[in-house]
Structure 1
Amino acid sequence: MNAVLRELVERGGGLVTRAVAEQVVPEWTLRRACGSGDLVRVLPEVFVAAHLLRDRPEQRIGPAAIGRLDPAVGVRAAQAWADGRGALSHLSALAAWGLRRPRAGDLLHLSASAGAGIRSRPGVAVHRRQGLLLAPPHVVVRRGLSVTRLEQALVDSWPMLPPGERRAPVIRAVNDRLTTPERLVEALGAAPKLRDRAALRTLLARLGEGCRSPLEIWGHEQVFTGRGMPAFRRQARVRVGRRTMYLDLFAERERVNIELDGATTHGDPRQREIDLRRDALLATVGIVVVRFAHRRLVHETDEVRRETLAILARRATATG
């Protein structure tokens, strides 16, 4: 490869566009580098160093050249091709927001305005959106990449994910305080025809009520609602001395805190010690902590419900 072109490619992290290359070398130099196999065209006007392409079948290679790149390089190639006319969106935006692990061979997603002048290519899906502005609040820059705002990315990605994987990015985004259930509800309101929209609406309602994990949602829907159950405060904030704690389900009148222990906490001595210290601290202000393990919540639902009602009744009598 021509030395000047090689330096240009190296400065670009293995990637160069025709517009940039032809500012310093003649067009035939770029054509010769492709002919010799040093560079590979992965998108119109976008070229990468050939050694960056993965050829091992176990790495889930897609049919398009861009799908044979490391995901980070593929994203840069797509952005270079879009050249300010589109932003990462849908599942690609989720990866940029850190809510999904990208994999080699994944289809890349860009959103563009109706008249942007770019269209889908092998390995890249372009979604046209009426009224899209490639500027805040529609699009933001994250880690140097132009991406659709998080709420839009989560709503757009919902029907694309397998049903068992849909809730995790939404729950994590809320738990990490990247967004709120209210902002997501607003974004969902602009997508009346979204596939499986009702399931996302229900999830957002549960998050709005204070649920912060799949287990808490299960408990809310299957165990701790209905006849006889109080209106629990979810993720209730309690301060004891200098420490602030958040309680899974707090029956304020009875001073009972129901804690839902996930499957991963079972058998962890360190977590057990943390829980015991926390429970003892709550006891100093008259709050009784009742813990239910994941197994019991899922497999002994009726018994857990009966025990909870009995504890609440006893506490109501004692505190009354």
Structure 2
Amino acid sequence: MDLEELLEQQHGLISRAQAHACGLTDRRVEWMVESGRWRRIHLGVYATITGPLSFEARVWAAILRAGRGAVASHSTAAFLDGLCDDPGAVIHVTAPGERHVRGKIDGVRVHYAWRLPLTRHPSKSPPRTRIDDTVLDLVDMASHPREAEGWITAACQRRLTTPHRLADALGRRKKIRWRGMIEAMLVDVAEGAQSPLELRHLRRVERAHGLPAGCRQRRASGQRVVWIDVDYDAYGVRVELDGRIGHTGEGRFRDRQRDNRATVDGHATLRYGHGDVFGDPCGVAAEQARVLRARGWTGVVRACRAGCPAAHPCDHRRSTTP
């Protein structure tokens, strides 16, 4: 690859070793820097363009500084692949585990992995880890289970991977934090739960209290296709689990239209947010149980713990009209 092709591929960045391979001497490189044609970004890494560096150029600079075989990883790779909307202030790269990058690199965190040849994507530019391994790297760094859940569900919700592919990648790792939780979670995501809120409802509301199993992310067709978060079709009850986006502006209008259509069709719609499901899962279970019973469910609510108010609805203050 000649110099021009290399610079185009790497967003105007080049390492000293690459410059040598293209026929430039150390003296020529130093002259390019001293004359202002190039500028030094990191030790042995130069920008051949003027003005602020793009995000991709900054990633290339970090990769070139980390050396042979290094790739973007963690939140940096996540941003490049559309898994997150904010890459953060630090560029994350992973280098092969058999060597060590000397010296501190400003604005860059270097990780090491012996399995990097297996987790590196074969063709993407800038070089990065495969999306499944990026997700698991982020899960392994998560300080809280909810953060780990967020990476798994975001990857599946944005259709960047599938629970089955993540399970395969997980099986190839000997060590990873939260393994048991992830394995159980991937089963739930495969069944349709697409966000931490939906997972929480499935586990802490429905399963924990012995409610009937709902159909998740059910596609309902009509004049307009809508998706039902949790559908108890046998009882004509639907549960919508809404984050902040669904509560304002156009989102609120669409929600009202959907609920109105469901009512016209004879369905009862219950709507809960994060505060309800995370803050009072027993109250949500008691409320759902009352509506389900009014529509033919003959089951018994199970106490999720000692003194669970869902199993003693008369002691709980939540109330609803079916």
The normalised TM-score by structure 2 is: 0.73
Of 198, 205, 209, the residue aligned with 1:223 is 205
Q: Name the structure 2 match of 1:28.
A: 27
- Provide the residue aligned with 2:269 in structure 1: 289
Change in Cα spacing, 1:162 to 1:72, as seen in structure 2 (3 Å) is: farther
Partner of 2:127: helix, strand, or coil? strand
- Other-structure match for 2:112: 127
Contact 1:259 1:289 in 2 (8 A): yes
Match of 1:303 among 283, 299, 308: 283
Residue from 119, 127, 134 that aligns with 1:146? 127
The answer to whether the 8 Å contact 2:121/2:128 transfers is: yes
Displacement after TM superposition at 1:75 (Å): 1.3
Please tell me the root mean square deviation across aligned C-alpha atoms, in Å.
Answer: 3.6
CA distance in 1, matches of 2:9, 2:165: 40
Equivalence for 2:73 = 89
Alignment of 1:154-233 (within 5 A): 154-163=135-144, 165-233=147-215
Q: Which one has the bigger strand percentage?
A: 1
User: In the alignment, residue 78 of structure 2 is paired with which amino acid?
Assistant: L
Q: C-alpha distance in 2, partners of 1:274/1:71?
A: 36
Give the superposition deviation at 1:257. Answer: 0.8
Structure 2 CA distance for aligned equivalents of residues 235 and 13 of structure 1: 41
Identical-pair percentage? 28
Q: Residue 156 and residue 252 in structure 1: after superposition, are their counterparts in 2 closer, same or farther (change >3 A)? A: same
Q: Distance in 2 between matches of 1:132 and 1:35?
A: 38
Decide whether aligned partners of structure 1 residues 190 and 302 sit closer, same or farther in structure 2, where only a CA change above 3 A counts.
same
Question: Matched residues in 2 for 1:216 and 1:91: separation?
Answer: 24
Amino acid at match of 2:72: L
Check conservation: 2:245, 2:251, Cα contact below 8 A: no
Aligned 1:13-24 pairs, distance under 5 A: 13-22=11-20, 23=22
Partner of 1:40: 40
CA deviation string 1:103-133 (max 9, x = no partner): 44x253225486xxx6424335252434825
2:294 is aligned with 1:314: yes
Aligned residue runs from structure 1 range 247-286, under 5 A? 247-266=228-247, 268-286=248-266
The code of the aligned residue for 1:39 comes to: R
Q: Partner letter of residue 16 of structure 2? A: R
For residues 232 and 253 of structure 1, what CA distance do their matches in structure 2 show? 9
Task: State the alpha-carbon separation in 1 of the partners of residues 181 and 210 from structure 2.
Answer: 27
Q: 2:66 touches 2:101 (CA, 8 Å); kept in 1?
A: no
TM-superposed deviation, 1:200: 2.7
d(CA) in 2 for partners of 1:9 and 1:226? 57
TM-score, reference length from structure 1: 0.73
Measure the CA separation in 2 of the matches of 1:202 and 1:52. 48
For the residue of structure 1 that corresponds to 2:250, the secondary structure is helix
User: Residues 24 and 220 from structure 1, CA distance in 2 versus in 1: closer, same or farther, beyond 3 angstroms?
Assistant: same
Task: Give a deviation string over 1:211-270, Cα, whole Å, max 9, x none.
Answer: 11222122222222244410111112222x34332211111211211112324434x253
SS in 2 for 1:253: helix
- Name the CA shift for 1:249/1:13 in 2 (closer, same or farther; >3 Å): closer
Give the whole-Å Cα distance in 2 for the aligned partners of 1:297 and 1:208.
21
- CA distance in structure 1 between the partners assigned to 2:17 and 2:189 by the alignment: 48
Structure 1 unaligned residues grouped into runs of 5+: 54-68
Relative distance call for 1:220 and 1:130 in structure 2 (3 A) is closer
Q: Secondary structure at the match of 1:148?
A: coil
Distance in 2, matches of 1:96 and 1:11, equals 15
Deviation at 1:311, TM superposition (A): 0.8
Equivalent position amino acid for 1:176 in 2: R
| Distance verdict in 2 for CA 1:103–1:43, change over 3 Å | farther
Residues 223 and 305 in structure 1, CA contact (< 8 A), matched pair in contact too: yes
For the 8 Å contact 1:40–1:49, the answer to whether it is kept is no
CA drift at 1:278 = 1.2
Distance of 2:101 and 2:64 partners within structure 1: 15
How many equivalent residue pairs? 287
Aligned-pair CA distance for 1:36: 7.3
The more displaced of 301-310 and 75-84 is 75-84
